[in-house]
Structure 1
Amino acid sequence: MRAFAPGSVTAIFAPAGSGDESMGASFTVADGITADVRPAESATRTESAVVLDGEPADFAPVEIALRELGLADDASVELTVEIPIGRGFGASGAATLATALAANAEFGLDRTREQLVEVAHRAEVEAGTGLGDVFVQQMGGLVLGDGTTRWRFDRDDPIEYASFGSIATEDALADDDLMARIEREGTAALDALPDEPSMADVTCEGWTFAQAVDLPTDEVREAVADVEAAGGVASMAMVGETVFAVGVEGVLANRTAVSPDGAHLADE
């Protein structure tokens, strides 16, 4: 059974509550990850339960999700990836959520969608790869959240992006000084958004936030300046050395769009 989860880009975030949740402003993109889950005995199973673009891979949150679903020894997962990994597109969350949805259908686990989202979320937290990506990826569109409630807005803006490198999410989340700045500046940026923000609103506040927490590299700053010179607005994906932009065409290397669709089974 196959399931698809869109990639997601977080423009602004801050930890909330116990630290296992986050508040923020994020959006899904049309590109994502497809997970093909099969019984282990009927799939090519090597030393890993996970195959990434044809090669065995260690993918901790996916493996944790399989364990939580009672399928650690029974399932194999083949991931087909359309988004950069480790560069702020929520790839680990998309892979884990798609795996949970596909595994539930393939093995007849009869879990609700909410339960599967929670399994994927807990797997990400345990692996240290994310705090809230899967909640956005299951909804689609532009999503604002305060840690307990999430508001979804239909958006379909074209998005351009360029990726220059990776920033380890687990390292960022483990940096107490950085997370203290993120909590302070992220809360302020979210408070500054209008009640029904446009993608330009989110991008502008996202850039203010990124600069305030001192994450942009020189390459990121140069790319944002190029977008602004062309009349658009740009910011940095959280957390990755990636610039995303709205309001321009042909400035950055890649082009996609905000996706209104959340994660879903691909074989229906």
Structure 2
Amino acid sequence: MNCSIFVPSHITGFFEIRDNDNPIKKGSRGAGVVMDKGVITKTEISDGNGVQIKINGKIDVRNATITEKTIEIIKRDYNLDNKKIVITHDVDVPIGAGFGTSASFALGASLGISKILDLPLTFNKAAQIAHLAEVEMKSGLGDVIGALSGGLVLRLKEGAPGIGVTDKLLLNQSEDLYVISKCFGEINTGDIIEDPVHKERINSTGRDLLFKLTSDPKPENLMKLSRKFAEKTMLMSSEVLEAVVILEEETIGASMAMLGNTAFAISESPDTSIENAVVAKLNHSGLKFL
């Protein structure tokens, strides 16, 4: 038995951390973009034992931990004994660089296993497992619910799918919008969101931005507020800033992907002078079973 799922990449532009003792209710408020590149996860389950996880065809112990955590959470409530689980993640965006790949891995695994084994879970309940894995691994707070929404996403209330609340900008462009990004490396999300100094700076800066975006719900404003957030939180590296300045001249607006050493922009054209950029159309539909 097998199942393949595409989970698009979600990039956060700005956010506010919202703590809660219940991890299902913990998360972030903010806004971001969903691009039509991401992760295809194929799950195969047969009689036997053990778990095998491959990322782009290879064993990748470090990046497989979120998938392992997802399976561990499922095992807390459901018996997976005498099941051999093989999961392959095919990724076409950088890993650990602000593209929400850990959320994509977790969603692909949780929904794939739930679907194949016909577990007594609704779509949102299965997706909540992915959110729990993200929170427990400190790898993300809002990418799961963001990726499910698609579009230019507003996370209005924190929490897992079914708990949190999202909306999206209503676009009137006749042509497709594009997301252009340039990655310069990784940032450990946990190092930022668990650090008291960073956390205070993030929350004091991000707290009012969502209201400002809902008051003027336009792509240009989303990117302007994201740029303001990146500057005030002092998270942008010099190389990301340099790319952002170039992209601002070519696009609707540009900023830093939260949280990654990555510049991103929304554009009416896929063209850019940035070398080796990742370019994709804006994804409007979210997760898709293949």
TM-score by length of 2: 0.84
Alignment partner, residue 66 of structure 2? 61
Task: Indicate conservation of the 8 Å contact 1:102/1:265, yes or no.
Answer: no
Alignment partner, residue 141 of structure 2? 131
Equivalences, count? 263
Tell me, in whole angstroms, the C-alpha distance in 2 between the residues paired with 1:7 and 1:42.
33
Range that drifts further, 152-161 or 106-115:
152-161
Shift of 1:29: 0.6
Matching residue's letter, 1:257? K
Tell me, in whole angstroms, the C-alpha distance in 2 between the residues paired with 1:231 and 1:149.
29
Offset from partner CA, 1:228-256 (integer Å, 9 cap, x none): 33464210000001111123632332311
Alignment partner, residue 235 of structure 1? 255
Task: Indicate conservation of the 8 Å contact 2:247/2:272, yes or no.
Answer: no
Task: Indicate conservation of the 8 Å contact 1:101/1:264, yes or no.
Answer: no
Offset from partner CA, 1:162-212 (integer Å, 9 cap, x none): 111111111111211101110110113223214462222111110100010
Matching residue's letter, 2:12? T
1:33 to 11, 33, 39: 39
**SS of residue in 1 equivalent to 2:11:** strand
**SS of residue in 2 equivalent to 1:234:** strand
Tell me, in whole angstroms, the C-alpha distance in 1 between the residues paired with 2:146 and 2:66.
17
Distance 1:35 1:192, change over 3 A: same
Alignment partner, residue 218 of structure 2? 198
Alignment partner, residue 264 of structure 1? 288
Contiguous gaps of at least 5 residues in structure 1? none
Q: Does 1:77 align with 2:80?
A: no
Alignment partner, residue 186 of structure 1? 206
Task: Indicate conservation of the 8 Å contact 1:228/1:234, yes or no.
Answer: yes
Give 4+ residue runs of structure 1 displaced > 3 Å after superposition.
Answer: 40-43, 71-74, 153-156, 229-232
Task: Indicate conservation of the 8 Å contact 1:166/1:241, yes or no.
Answer: yes
Shift of 1:224: 1.3
Shift of 1:49: 2.7
Task: Indicate conservation of the 8 Å contact 2:32/2:152, yes or no.
Answer: yes
Q: Does 1:250 align with 2:272?
A: yes
Range that drifts further, 169-178 or 144-153:
144-153
Identity over aligned residues, as a percent?
27
TM-score by length of 1: 0.91
Tell me, in whole angstroms, the C-alpha distance in 1 between the residues paired with 2:150 and 2:66.
21
Distance 1:42 1:56, change over 3 A: farther
- What are the equivalent positions in structure 2 for 1:134-149 lying under 5 Å apart? 134-146=144-156, 147=158, 148-149=164-165
Range that drifts further, 200-209 or 18-27:
18-27
Offset from partner CA, 1:90-130 (integer Å, 9 cap, x none): 00001110111111122221311110111000001011100
**SS of residue in 2 equivalent to 1:239:** coil
2:5 to 3, 6, 15: 3
Task: Indicate conservation of the 8 Å contact 2:18/2:28, yes or no.
Answer: yes
